[in-house]
């Protein structure tokens, strides 16, 4: 029985790194999963442009232990401008030289977690793109349940970074699941870490403004793009040639004909996180989310 459009997934993995934005060169993880990482896991399993997730609660089953590792990483990124000149043959391809001591490589440390397990409960909501009668919430809830309980996923979910793979399973109810896991873990001699109260401080809520999720976003198919372009060209038929070219240029320069909904740019938001009886509450209705002012850059 799905209550209040809320679904729960049990996720676990050998390693996890939920990078703090203030320390992302030498990565340092938050002590527990962030709501945006939890959203990423759910979206790896199931996502449609007509719906979105708001993470409601996170039950910490295994909080894990700290673990540090230093690896060779690549510092260089491929700029699209150089890729274009390589492609056109005007400039010779310059490979990236990786490895410690090489020009494009460096050693970086990572402070991560080992052996974690969470119960992620999320509210499923419809976006404004769900304008057809067939887009009812029950359909999406059913889909998520079928996918998660049979192990299907769009791509392999991860615990913050892609090399830390995550396993998942569907749970009917987080409270029952938590109690069950508590018993199961007690039997293994490695009991669940009981956390009565622990303030975690300011924690990343999401890299996007969650209030804009309800607008929805999807890239249009090439057929749909051609169709709208043809329609637009027809609407210009009465105009003079110069005016027509100008309007067409404007149309092409504006990317909004390529997608439906709203393309949102990253804008970090934070919340005061705390663990109460192993639960982190993070639904925006319960916990105020602090969003960076959007007047910047306008």
Q: What residue ranges bind another protein (CB under 8 A)?
A: 14-15, 65, 67-74, 77-81, 83-84, 86-89, 91-93, 95-105, 107, 109, 114, 147, 150-156, 158, 162-165, 167-169, 225, 255, 258, 263, 265-266
User: CB of residue 224 vs another protein: minimum separation in angstroms?
Assistant: 13
Q: Residue 20, SS3?
A: coil
Euclidean distance between CA atoms 137 and 4, whole angstroms: 11
Is residue 119 within 8 A of residue 58, CB to CB? The reply is: yes
User: CB of residue 226 vs another protein: minimum separation in angstroms?
Assistant: 11
User: 224 to each of 229, 230, 232, 259, how far by Cα in Å?
Assistant: 9, 10, 12, 9
User: CB of residue 286 vs another protein: minimum separation in angstroms?
Assistant: 29
User: CB of residue 4 vs another protein: minimum separation in angstroms?
Assistant: 27
Question: Is the Cα torsion angle 70, 73, 75, 79 positive or negative in sign?
Answer: negative
The residue among 51 and 113 lying less far from another protein, judged by its C-beta, is: 113
The residue among 159 and 280 lying less far from another protein, judged by its C-beta, is: 159
Question: 197 has which bridge partners?
Answer: 276
The residue among 101 and 199 lying less far from another protein, judged by its C-beta, is: 101
The residue among 150 and 276 lying less far from another protein, judged by its C-beta, is: 150
Euclidean distance between CA atoms 181 and 62, whole angstroms: 10
Provide the token pair at 291.
């969003």
User: CB of residue 22 vs another protein: minimum separation in angstroms?
Assistant: 20
């Amino acid at each position: 029985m799905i209550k209040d459009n809320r679904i729960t997934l049990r996720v676990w993995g050998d390693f996890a790194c939920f990078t703090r934005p203030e320390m992302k060169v030498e990565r340092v993880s938050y002590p527990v999963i962030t709501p945006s990482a939890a959203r990423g896991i759910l979206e790896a399993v199931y996502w449609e442009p007509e719906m979105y997730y708001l993470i409601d609660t996170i039950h910490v089953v295994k909080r894990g232990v700290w673990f540090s590792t230093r690896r060779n990483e690549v510092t260089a990124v491929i700029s699209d401008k150089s890729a274009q000149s390589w492609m056109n043959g005007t400039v010779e391809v310059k490979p990236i030289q990786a490895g410690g001591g090489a020009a494009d490589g460096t050693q970086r440390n990572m402070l991560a977690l080992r052996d974690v397990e969470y119960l992620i409960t999320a509210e499923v909501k419809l976006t404004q793109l769900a304008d057809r009668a067939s887009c009812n919430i029950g359909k999406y809830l059913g889909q998520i349940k079928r996918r998660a309980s049979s192990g299907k996923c769009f791509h392999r979910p991860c615990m913050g970074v892609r090399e830390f793979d995550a396993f998942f399973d569907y749970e009917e109810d987080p409270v029952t699941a938590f109690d069950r896991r508590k018993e199961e873990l007690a039997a293994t001699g490695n009991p669940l870490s009981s956390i009565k109260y622990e303030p975690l401080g300011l924690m990343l809520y999401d890299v996007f403004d969650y209030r804009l999720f309800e607008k929805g976003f999807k890239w249009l198919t090439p057929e749909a793009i051609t169709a709208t372009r043809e329609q637009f060209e027809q609407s210009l038929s009465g105009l003079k040639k110069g005016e027509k070219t100008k309007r067409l240029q404007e149309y092409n320069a504006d990317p909004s004909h390529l997608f439906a909904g709203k393309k949102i740019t990253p804008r970090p938001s934070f919340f005061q996180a705390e663990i109460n009886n192993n639960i982190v509450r993070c639904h925006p209705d319960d916990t105020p989310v602090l969003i960076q002012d959007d007047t910047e850059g306008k």
